[in-house]
Amino acid sequence: MKTENEGRAGLLHGIGAYAMWGLVPLFWPLLKPAGAIEILAHRMVWSLAFVGLALLVLRRWGWMRELVRSPRKLGLIALAATVITVNWGLYIWSVNTGHVVEASLGYFINPLVTIALGVLVLQERLRPAQWAAVGIGFAAVLVLAVGYGQPPWISLVLAFSFALYGLVKKKVNIGGLESLAAETAVQFLPALAYLAWLGGRGTLAFGSHGAGHTALLAATGLVTAIPLVCFGAAAIRVPLSTLGLLQYLAPTFQFLLGVLYFHEAMPPERWAGFSLVWLALTILTWDALRTNRRSRAAIAAATAAGAGAAGAAGAVGKAEAAEVAGPAGAAGTAGAAGTVEATPATGR
């Protein structure tokens, strides 16, 4: 029962995390007239404040000592902070300038870009279905490029920056909250300096458009931290295959918001490109589920074989012991077996 409840809680946390990421395009326009870079700076500053408070409550500070002692990890954290700054900034700008659909495409093709980076950087070997999915994704980008008259650069930058961010985080290998704290610590001083510069010029939106607007700018930290906390809770409770399926919720919500709420145009070539991407993701998901199912079956078979071998070894050991003990020992073993077999008949 406990395992079932844990799984249900993990699933709800995962849905909550990806739903919040998917609905965040509704939040960024509320921060106007602040520009995209000022919003980004507030997100960096307030994220560190809220994540630092969370770590203080949880008393999780031990990782900092290890991180400071590792120049390689510090360099990777700085790289991750740089890459996610590009991703966050471009995403905020895209939403507030009417490119929600194109931004959603970036997160749809992100899994394909992640696979491509695995081949190019980690020398991973792809299965035929994965090659097919990557090829279809490349064809989708070509279709969209022809339709736009230029490559869908917003989608590509978002996809590649987030894929690279994931690769760097894999190398760093620290928890989600801890990683965000370290990255925003790198971002904090430049962001604070930019906000101070805006204030010196008299163009800082923070505090200039009422208490509600000021509170919304401060809430950028919560908007960043809460989905991450939910994701962390889901990651330890549900299988990776489930998380892999849930990840498509965010770009799906973004796409639907772009089309139905923001009324962005969807000409035929855009539908064609998105259809190819969805086909590629369908193939990728089918292959991942099939591979996961085969892996589980192989593990179960290996476990059963191991248990069988252990049982056989135990039987051989008992037989050898009976031979050493002689007829009296063998009779005692048989009597014990008879007692065990008879127990259910007694109703005990």
Q: What is the pLDDT of residues 238-266, one digit of tens each?
A: 776 677 788 899 999 999 999 999 999 99
| Run of H or E residues at 44 | helix 36-58
pLDDT at site 326? 44
User: Residue 242: what pLDDT?
Assistant: 77
Q: How far apart are CA 67 and CA 96, in angstroms?
A: 36
| CA dist., res. 312 & res. 293, Å (int) | 29
Q: Average pLDDT of 33-46?
A: 95
- Maximal C-alpha separation, the chain: 100
Q: What is the share, in percent, of the chain residues with pLDDT greater than 90?
A: 47
CB atoms within 10 A of CB 94: 25
Comparing CA positions, the residue from 243, 242, 285, 268 lying closest to residue 132 is 285
Rounded distance, CA 267 to CA 143, Å? 12
Q: What pLDDT was estimated at residue 32? A: 93
* Model pLDDT, residue 313: 52
What average pLDDT does the segment 127-143 reach? Answer: 90
The residue with greater pLDDT, 181 or 297, is 181
pLDDT at 34 over 90: yes
Quick check: 334 pLDDT over 60? no
- Is it true that the peptide bond before 33 is cis, omega within 30 degrees of 0? yes
Mean pLDDT of 207-216: 92
Question: Distance between CA 271 and CA 284 in Å, rounded?
Answer: 20
Q: What is the pLDDT of residue 324?
A: 43
The larger pLDDT score, comparing residue 45 to residue 237, is at: 45
Residue 156 CB contacts under 8 Å (≥ 6 apart), including other chains:
106, 109, 141
What is the band of 178 on the pLDDT scale with cuts at 50, 70, 90? confident
Residue 212 is predicted with a pLDDT of 94
Question: Can you give the C-alpha Rg of the chain in angstroms?
Answer: 28
Q: Considering only residues 118 and 18, tell me which one the structure prediction assigns the higher pLDDT.
A: 18
Q: Which amino acid is at 44?
A: M
Q: Provide the token pair at 44.
A: 């960096």
**Taking all residues of the chain, what is their mean pLDDT, rounded to a whole number?**
83
DSSP labels for 317-342? HHHHHHHHH-HHHHHHHHHHHHHHHH
Task: Please check the confidence at residue 100 and state whether its pLDDT lies above 90.
Answer: yes
- Cβ pair 178, 55 in contact under 8 A: yes
Cα–Cα distance measured from residue 33 to residue 332, given in angstroms and rounded to the nearest whole number: 88
Residues whose CB is less than 8 angstroms from the CB of residue 214 and which lie 6 or more positions away in sequence, other chains included: 206, 207
Residue 333 to residue 339: CA distance in whole angstroms: 10
CA angle 154/115/75 to nearest 5° reads 75
Would you tell me the crossing angle of helices 100-122 and 128-148 to the nearest 10 degrees? 140
